[in-house]
Chain A
């Protein structure tokens, strides 16, 4: 079985540009999580979904960030406009409703110049 798939793996953009990160969770998983990892703040939960419905987006830093999950096999995290402080590795993770371990994707390394 394929694991969590994220694209792109690397993204370099200029300040002010829109950035869209994509995630395909493991088939059959009901929960999807978006995390951001930086040296200063470690792993931070941004938002998570259950059955495609956003449950908690309190970790989303500001209105420039938005996330959607239009169906069970796809989610996006959008930053518009991007800023240099958004530079980080963004991870997507998924798990089943009954399972507790989260399975992580390889991450997207975002650099905003």
Chain B
């Protein structure tokens, strides 16, 4: 069975601080995909990134970066110089490589960035 754990339920930081959101996953598959989604206060779920399990290169997109470590089954998300607009619930998700299965989501981490 697949499982995603986001141990941090809520995080609060002051604007301009860096923050890392943790994601640990469980799967018996050797190949799989990992995702991050953002849910801002308006409620919609916005896709942020997808990584496959055989590409362990870290990825950076502006102030966002993702650290994938297969050895520890983690796919952590760091926001550098956080801004108030980053306040949202962030979800980590996992899918089988075949793709013909739904995503398995973690419970989410609520990030509050205080001005």
Contacts and interface: CB of A to CB of B under 8 A. Distances in A.
Contacts of B37: 104
Interface string B86-104: 0000010001000110110
A106 B44 CA distance: 5
Contact of B47 (A50, A102, A106): A102
A100 B94 CA distance: 10
B33 A100 contact: yes
Interface string A38-69: 00001101001010000010000000000000
B102 A50 contact: no
A101 B100 contact: no
Contact of B102 (A48, A104, A105): A48
B103 A102 contact: yes
B44 A104 contact: yes
Nearest to B33: A100
Tell me if A's interface is mostly helix, strand, loop or mixed: strand
Contacts of B42: 106
A69 to B, nearest CB: 15
Nearest to B49: A101
B47 A101 contact: yes
Given A106-B44, A107-B44, A100 B99 contact: yes
Contact of B100 (A42, A43, A50): A50
A101 B93 CA distance: 10
Interface in B62-106: 91, 95, 99-100, 102-103, 105-106
11 contacts: A43-B108, A45-B103, A100-B33, A100-B99, A101-B47, A102-B102, A103-B47, A104-B44, A105-B44, A106-B43, A107-B44
B45 A91 contact: yes
B50 interface: yes
B45 A104 contact: yes
A79 interface: no
Q: What are the 4 tightest A-B residue pairs by CB atom distance, in nearest-first order?
A: A104-B45, A42-B107, A43-B105, A101-B47
Given A89-B43, A101-B35, A45 B102 contact: yes
B13 to A, nearest CB: 22
